[in-house]
Amino acid sequence: MSTPTKRVAFHTLGCKLNFSETSSISRDFIHYGYEKVSFKDFADIYVINTCSVTENANKETKKLIRRTKRINPNSFIALIGCYAQLKPNELISLDGVNMVIGAEEKFNLLNHLNKIDLSANKKLMLNTKIKEVKTFNPSYSHNDRTRSFLKVQDGCDYHCTFCTIPRARGISRSGTIEKTMKIAEKIAQTDTKEIVLTGVNIGDFGAGSSESFFDLIERMDMLNGIERIRISSIEPNLLSDEIIEFCSHSEKFMPHFHIPLQSGSNKILRSMGRRYNKSDFASRIKKIKSLIPEACIGVDVIVGFPTETEIDFMETYDLIDQLEISYLHVFTYSERLDTKALKLKPIIPMDKRADRSRRLHELSNKKRKFFYDSFIGEAKYTLFESVKNGELVGYTDNYIKIRVNGDISLVNTIQKVNILDRKKEHMKGHIY
Give a yes or no: residue 337 inside a domain.
no
Claim to verify: residue 205 and residue 240 sit in the same structural domain? yes
Whether 117 and 158 map to the same domain: the answer is no
Last residue of a domain, one of 213, 228, 254: 254
CATH number, domain of 73, equals 3.40.50.12160
Determine what percent of the chain is predicted with pLDDT higher than 70.
99
Same domain? For 88 and 176 the reply is: no
Altogether, the residues listed in the chain come to a count of: 432
Residue-number span of the structural domain to which 168 is assigned: 134-254
* End-of-domain residue from the set 193, 219, 254: 254
274 within some domain: no
Of the residues 85, 106, 131, the one at which a domain ends: 131
For residue 371, tell me if it sits in a domain.
no
> Do residues 50 and 112 share a domain?
yes
> Are residue 110 and residue 148 in the same domain, yes or no?
no
Q: What pLDDT is stored for residue 1 in this prediction?
A: 37
Would 160 be classed as within a structural domain? yes
Q: Are residues 141 and 246 in the same domain?
A: yes
pLDDT at 424: 81
Average the pLDDT over 350-373 and give the result: 98
Q: Do 107 and 162 share a domain, yes or no?
A: no
pLDDT at residue number 232: 95
pLDDT in tens, 186-210: 999 999 999 999 999 999 999 999 9
Is pLDDT at 39 greater than 80 in this prediction? yes
Q: Are residues 48 and 151 in the same domain?
A: no
Residues 97, 157: one domain? no
Do 113 and 142 sit in the same domain of this protein? no
Q: Where residue 3 falls among pLDDT bands split at 50, 70, 90?
A: low
Q: Who contacts 230 (Cβ-Cβ below 8 Å, separation ≥6)?
A: 194, 195, 196, 197, 253, 254, 256
Q: What is the CATH number of the domain that holds 181?
A: 3.30.750.210
0.85 surpassed by pTM = yes
Average pLDDT estimate for 374-382: 97
Confidence band, pLDDT 50/70/90 cuts, at residue 118: confident
For residue 90, tell me if it sits in a domain. yes
pLDDT band (50, 70, 90) for residue 45: very high
Domain count, the chain: 3
User: How far, in Å, CA of 244 to CA of 222, rounded?
Assistant: 17
CATH number for 394: 2.40.50.140
Q: Is residue 338 part of a domain?
A: no
The answer to whether residues 182 and 115 belong to one domain is: no
pLDDT band at residue 2 under the 50/70/90 scheme: very low
| Judgement on whether residues 123 and 142 belong to the same structural domain of the protein | no
Question: Does residue 291 lie in a domain region?
Answer: no
Q: Is residue 363 part of a domain?
A: no
Position with higher pLDDT, 128 vs 299 = 299
